[in-house]
Structure 1
Amino acid sequence: MTDFADEARSRTAHLLRMAGTDDARVRARIIDYAARTPDPPLMGPQGIHTSGCPRCHGTMWLQRDLWVCSACGHMKDA
């Protein structure tokens, strides 16, 4: 497979491929996880950092010097 074709795969497909399992229950849990969690932002110079949102308990991503919640949009300084 070419790099271009691999990059076109969905996040769910990447997670399933990394898990490397044929167990239907495990695959269903991975698919559910991918559907419930947001896609991470593009990786910045400091990598990817996450935290819990104090408002909605969703996932916050560190974007430069600011934490941004992917679910409710709440922001706080890093």
Structure 2
Amino acid sequence: MTTDFAEEARSRTARLLRMAATPDDRVRARIVEYATSTPDPPLMGPHGIQTTGCTRCRRTMWRQRDLWVCSSCGHVEDA
């Protein structure tokens, strides 16, 4: 049993690998690549975490209150 403190101290990559629970090295490598090439999501708001595609660069946009903010190029759109 892990404490809340230990869980918070784990890296995002470690959490994703644990959730995937796969021994396949190729899948694990893809998870590590994903975790290192994408930013951490923002803190969860009252409506949860919402994403969409960026109209400029096609990467992930996170909804932050009444705005969509691209995690890659920084493009901002009204929600």
The runs of 5 or more residues in structure 2 that have no matched partner are none
For residues 43 and 71 of structure 2, the distance between their equivalents in structure 1, rounded to whole angstroms, comes to 13
Gaps of 5+ in 1: none
Residue 73 of structure 1: CA displacement? Answer: 0.8
CA distance in 2, matches of 1:73, 1:29: 25
TM-aligned CA deviation for residue 36 of structure 1: 1.6
* C-alpha RMSD of the superposition: 0.8
Partner of 1:27: 28
Give the share of equivalent positions with the same residue, in percent.
74
- Per-residue CA deviations over 1:23-52 (Å, capped at 9, x if unaligned) read 111111110111121110000001000011
> Runs of at least 4 residues of structure 1 off by over 6 A?
none
- Aligned residues between the structures: 78
Q: 1:45-65: CA deviations, max 9, x gaps?
A: 010000111111111000001
Query: CA separation in 1, counterparts of 2:59 and 2:36?
Result: 14
**TM-score of the two chains, using structure 2 as the length reference:** 0.94
